[in-house]
Structure 1
Amino acid sequence: MRGKLAFLFTGMLVLVCGLIGRLMYINYTSSDKYKKIVLSQQSYDSSIIPFQRGDIVDTKGTVLATSVAVYNVILDCSIMTSDTKYVEPTIDALMECFPDIMNRDQLEDYAANSKDSKYIVLAKKLPYDQIQPFIEKQDDTDNNPNIKGVWFEKEYQREYPYHTLASSLIGFTASGNVGNSGLENYYNDTLNGINGREYGYLNSDNDFEKTVIDAKDGNTLVTTIDANIQSIVEEKIKEYNDMYTDNSREGAGSTNTGVLVMNPNNGEILAMANYPNFDLDNPRDLTPYYSQEQIDAMSDDENMDALNKLWQNYCITSTFEPGSVQKPFTIATGLDTGTVTDDMTFDCDGGEMFDGRIIGCVKRSGHGLETVRQALMNSCNDALMQMSYKIGIDNFVKYQSAYGFGLKTNIDLPGEANTSTLVYTLDNMKPVDLATNSFGQNYNTTMIQLGSAFCSLVNGGTYYQPHVVRKITDADGNTISTIDPTVVKETISSSTSDQIKDYMYSVVSEGTGKMAKLDGYSMGGKTGTAEKLPRGNGNYVVSFIGYVPQENPQLVIYVVVDEPNVDDQSHGAFAMNISREILKEVLPYLNIYPDEEQNGTNAEYGILGTDVTKKSAEAAAAAGQEAQNADVPQDENAGQ
């Protein structure tokens, strides 16, 4: 018996060892083959968990752009038709809960002819409250046990609560969370997150093994923009353009109108707006500016060109000759280099002669003998040209570069124009170019270039890099990074800054900028009128740039009106009126209080400069002519 037991045990041991050896052999030689067989017998489930793109908010937390959850209604026909008792109840539930979306004939066709389909999109981008009745019905298995095969795919849709507000600055997104322009484009990677995933498999015993990797939501941009200031600016721009659209000339109130509001002490942009603008929730809609007949007649390329013009941010992408707003920079250069001093005088006889032709002053008969202050107050081209001779080409070119003309500001927005080829250098500037550049003709800049440089003129000489994002936070509100003010360089001395501000105060209180004066506030600034190429066609860019208050300025405003819709475009009153009406509401909002005696200055003026109920648009424009004619070149070759 013992022998038999030993033999049996030995035999079983040999068999076990052989089985183990065989399994090891199979695993070594054929493991992939058998893994595929096992996997083919299991049912897998995998779905993407979408991330939520980060918000864009203003400086006080007002949401300017956000992503809201929406749901696609998905039909898994293979499940609905797996049992005939599921088909009718499921279709009935869909028709009951989505009567305006679903089509019974189409659903029955899916049930009959697409039985193996696992993914049929029945509806797209529905809000949760629209799908909630179906979810409740489907979850009520006691009363509705046979609703099968319908599920909801979550995604996010970009929405802009204020529609047109700061449209060119914010930008919009295309499908796939791709920023198309503005902050949406520049900070695309920051705003985007990382998709999560839910995956697993259903084995033969209906045990579901599931793993979830959560999505990582995008970060939030906290901007320097103040939505209240932005809305005031856009309201005044629209008011101006709407009024001048009603003028006898065809077209809008202007080709373009741009406004910058900046904090001169840190480079922050408080508002950046332009006309025309567009609805961020419907950015391809051209109907506010074109008739349907015009749109239908456009080719694809023409349609795209019209959209690109609509989407552009005029304040950073468009270049133009600045006109007389250049004059404070020229005088500051002279003061800072010592080539121009406060006690100098200049005899304006109506113009300067170059190669047999006269580049005229705005006053043909001449202003006579003028101090530096009076030259700026009267916007005298002749005096500025004479100053440029003293300054010299070397100094002028050096300071133009220091002010940033011809250089990108590197603002945190896409599409900033490159003006490096639109300014003169030491190698190509001639005396006539120096003369015309001194009063802002014959070179190009952008609003953001000139606005940023002007801030340095009035803040003591410090050039800050302009920016529109203050900090970046994660989805939970934790600060990831802070964009601190960046000092790029010193442009002029503090004493020069004080002197040029003193001159610009006289411009607004006594000179060509009187219509920009806001009653009760000390302020300075400069008007500008630049004749566009080709000269002699009557097309102008008019502007006003100013600051408030006179001592320790807290705000800089720059208004540009490109080709006002009037017969005589050359009056800076258009820009001054917009600036004054903006400041009238913005300054009290910012708790910047009147610091001078109120005497009713400009109190009767509105966006047109006069009582619009009594005077036409043309008369209103003419009301500023006496104060502004000092800015209008009377020689058609003045800028050539």
Structure 2
Amino acid sequence: MRRKRRRPAQKFNRKMRTKLMVLFSLILAVLCGLIGRLTYIEHTKGETYQKKVLSMQSYDSKTIPYQRGEIIDRSGTVLATSVAVYNVILDCTVVNDKEEYVDPTVEALVKCFPELDETEIRRIIKEKKDKRYIVLAKKVPYDEVQPFVELQDAVDKKGNKVNPDIKGVWFEKEYQRNYPFGSLASSVIGFTSSGNVGTTGLENYYNSTLNGINGREYGYLDSDSDFEKTVIDAQDGDALVTSIDANIQSIVEEKIKDWNEKYRDNYYKGTGSINTAAIVMNPNNGEILAMADYPNVDLNNPRDLSKWYTKKQIKNMSEDEKMDALNEIWQNFCVSSTYEPGSVQKPFTVACGLETGTIKDKMTFDCDGYEDFNGQKVRCVARYGHGIETVRKTLMDSCNDAIMQMSYKIGKNHFTEYQSIYGFGQKTGIDLPGEANTASLMYQVEDMKPIDLATNAFGQNYNCTMVQMVSGFASLINGGTYYQPHLVTKITDSTGNTISTVEPKAVKQTISQSTSDKIRDYLQSVVKEGTGNTAKVDGYSMGGKTGTAQKFPRGNGKYLVSFMGFAPYDNPQVLIYVVVNEPNVADQPHSVFAQNIAREILEEVLPYMNIYPDEKKTGVNKGYDVTGSKDSSQYTGKHNGTKSRNEKKKKN
């Protein structure tokens, strides 16, 4: 077999070598061009891209905080808002990149933020070279941050940076809750703790509504080395428009404070009473125009006890004792505290009797000063009796004896039924946290003895809250409609667009229009000629009822005094309820304390609300300090449920 001849290896000819040289030259040229481009970028924009790369490496994902919704009064006045504040952040890796960056950066920080310590900053830069996130200062206001930003960004006429060596400082934005009026409506508005968590008041009740959703910013370098950002915007929280009128609220708080300062005399926490509280309501729709109690708290510094306790007292408190003291001040007395209301209950009892037909307008009752329950005397304020009392005069004189006699006619079945209809023993559903549950503090029909019925009829031996009492009372004077009390009237988004409107909620009919008209007429006499005359605002027709409740244990000299009033008499536009819990005087049982506060509030509120005088001014009634009418919602001894020895006499 013939063997094939091996062909010799092919050599590069001249043409091929030329092609290879051209290709190599082209590749070399491209590489040189790329190197040149990179050199140009480094020279002209190296700092910019360095920041972008560092930003991508260190903060490739950044949270964009939402802004918590505002709380606004009925006229648009902002009561609570969130303001932008900034954390001062130091990136040690950038500052240490060049030695000449250190001194200018430190000097700028100390100059613009005097609270920072230069020695400490230099120590951090030296010892924490690899740290990219060091918080130097927290929650710095915008106007304090701006001088540093202006210094860092300052340029000359040619557009060159004046301070190019200030490096590695940036500002982290967040929001801080702010209350422009400090303590105004503190127990209503409430405050937040860290992380936008509502702790008390509307801040707590509407926490999820006020809070928004954080946004996110993602950063990366694209194929052209350009820094790209993807931003998911934050969703700000919704705002609450409330029924509170900041001007009325301010008037109420001023009058309460003035009264407490007048009677303080080193009493409980330096105040004039254990608690002083007031509610101003529109009785025709349940809207709360003002709600205040004293002592109160500065919402911008809610943990400060120095206003109410001395430094020595605070120093000697344990942490638990401090917390108890704070909780006591944070509590909204109008909603969370229960008490025996006293004689403000009497119109409810009379209305129950009129509505059930067990009491007639022309009935009379003989008050001899007390009722006797198997030897236990339950007294009227008139120790020797008021004599013959009509239904109207019973309320005018606040006569316990006559009211007890009415309770016998009404009977425990009707009485307990109507207490429930009026809302006692039930939560009102007001849009505030911590509303007390008084169900267990009420008598059930099967448990009610004659003495329980008698004392309940004039407001002792059962408990209620202020918001329960004022809501039920509103139905007595507005024609019989019980409205759910409420504070928020509208919810809007962050741009002011209405999301939802809270309409007045008529829950039930408590009494008829005719009964309401009679009650309103009786209560006008109480203010015009009876125990409530101290509360009369000159020039205005008014109605109202006083209250003086003897606190348990009976006979200890401690009382809760109150006044419930409304104006004008024939078409009530405003209802006010004032409670003074243990006034700081030796002789406590005088409702004039509450009446004085109510009158002083109404003297300013009525003209402000454009409610015009409807009576001729007399120039009389400037108020009293202690003298005046006592109410008679007090009794001696313990309840034992035994039957009155003179019940038969009183029944007829």
The answer as to whether partners of 1:247 and 1:566 remain within 8 angstroms in 2 is no
Residue 233 of structure 1 deviates from its aligned partner by 0.3
Q: Which residue of 2 aligns with 1:11?
A: none
Note if 1:92 corresponds to 2:111.
Answer: no
Aligned partner of residue 275 in structure 2, secondary structure: strand
Equivalent residue runs for 1:118-137 within 5 Å: 118-137=132-151
Equivalent residues of 1:197, 1:214 under 8 A apart: yes
Other structure's SS at 1:427 match: helix
Contact 1:363 1:634 in 2 (8 A): no
**1:636, CA displacement in angstroms?**
5.0
1:373 match: 392
Amino acid across the alignment from 2:110: M
Greater gyration radius? 2
Conserved 8 A contact 1:531-1:639: no
The answer to whether the 8 A contact 1:360-1:638 is kept is: no
Amino acid at match of 1:421: S
Which has the larger displacement, 79-88 or 322-331? 79-88
Residue 25 (structure 2) aligns with: none
Distance 1:405 1:310, change over 3 A: same
> Which of the numbers 548, 562, 566 marks the counterpart of 1:543?
562
Distance 2:215 2:562 in 1: 51
Which of 582, 601, 612 is the matching residue for 1:563? 582
Could you say which residue in structure 1 is the equivalent of 2:88? 73
- Cα RMSD over matched residues? 1.9
Answer whether contact 2:272 2:583 (CA < 8 A) is retained.
Answer: yes
What is the Cα deviation at residue 132 of structure 1?
1.1
Aligned to 1:152, the other structure's residue is in SS state: strand
Distance 1:597 1:461, change over 3 A: same
AA partner of residue 633 (structure 1): Q
State the 1:295 CA deviation.
Answer: 0.3
Distance 1:638 1:228, change over 3 A: farther
Q: Does 1:149 find its partner at 2:168?
A: yes
Instruction: Report what 1:49 is aligned to.
Output: 64
Contact 1:163–1:280 at 8 Å: present in 2 too?
yes
1:276 maps to what in 2?
295
1:247 positional shift: 7.8
Matched, 1:234 2:253: yes
Q: Displacement, 1:552? A: 1.3
Q: Does 1:418 align with 2:442?
A: no
Over the matched positions of the two proteins, sequence identity in percent amounts to 65
Paired amino acid for 1:117: K
Given that 1:349 and 1:368 are in contact with CA atoms closer than 8 Å, whether structure 2 keeps it comes out as yes
Distance 1:191 1:386, change over 3 A: same
SS in 1 for 2:125: helix
Which string of whole-angstrom CA distances, capped at 9 and with x for unpartnered residues, describes residues 376-418 of structure 1? 1111111111111111111101100000000000100001001
What's the CA shift string for 1:336-364, capped at 9, x where partnerless? 00010101111112211212222112212
Whole-Å separation in 2 of the counterparts to 1:600 and 1:146: 76
Q: CA 1:471–1:194 in 2, change beyond 3 Å: closer, same or farther?
A: same
Match of 2:20 in 1: none
Residue equivalent to 2:649:
none
Q: Which runs of 5+ in 2 are unaligned?
A: 1-9, 11-52, 155-159, 642-652
Q: 2:231 aligns with which of 208, 212, 218?
A: 212
DSSP 3-state at the match of 1:449: helix
Other-structure match for 1:455: 474
- Equivalent residue for 2:127? 113
Residue 130 of structure 1, CA deviation: 1.1
2:121 matched to 1:102? no
Q: CA separation in 2, counterparts of 1:549 and 1:174?
A: 43
Q: Residue 252 of structure 1 aligns with which residue?
A: 271
Q: Supply the AA of the counterpart residue of 2:283.
A: P
Residues paired across the two proteins, number: 583
CA contact (8 A) 1:518 1:601 kept: no
Q: Is the 8 A contact 1:462 1:491 kept in 2?
A: yes
Q: What's the CA shift for 1:203?
A: 6.2
User: How far apart, CA to CA, are the structure 1 residues paired with 2:194 and 2:620?
Assistant: 52
Distance in 2 between residues matched to 1:601 and 1:409, nearest whole Å:
38
Q: Deviations over 1:454-503 (max 9, x none)?
A: 00000000000000111011110000010000011000000000011111
Distance 1:65 1:247 in 2: 33
Indicate whether 1:486 and 2:505 are aligned.
yes
For 1:633 and 1:532, how far apart are their aligned partners in 2? Answer: 9
Give unpaired runs (5+ residues) of structure 1. 5-38, 610-619
The match for 1:314 is 333
State the secondary structure of the residue aligned to 1:363: coil
Alpha-carbon deviation of 1:630? 4.4
CA distance in 1, matches of 2:254, 2:417: 39
For residues 310 and 571 of structure 2, the distance between their equivalents in structure 1, rounded to whole angstroms, comes to 49
Determine the C-alpha separation between the residues in 2 that align with 1:130 and 1:535. Answer: 60
Counterpart residue identity of residue 412, structure 2: I
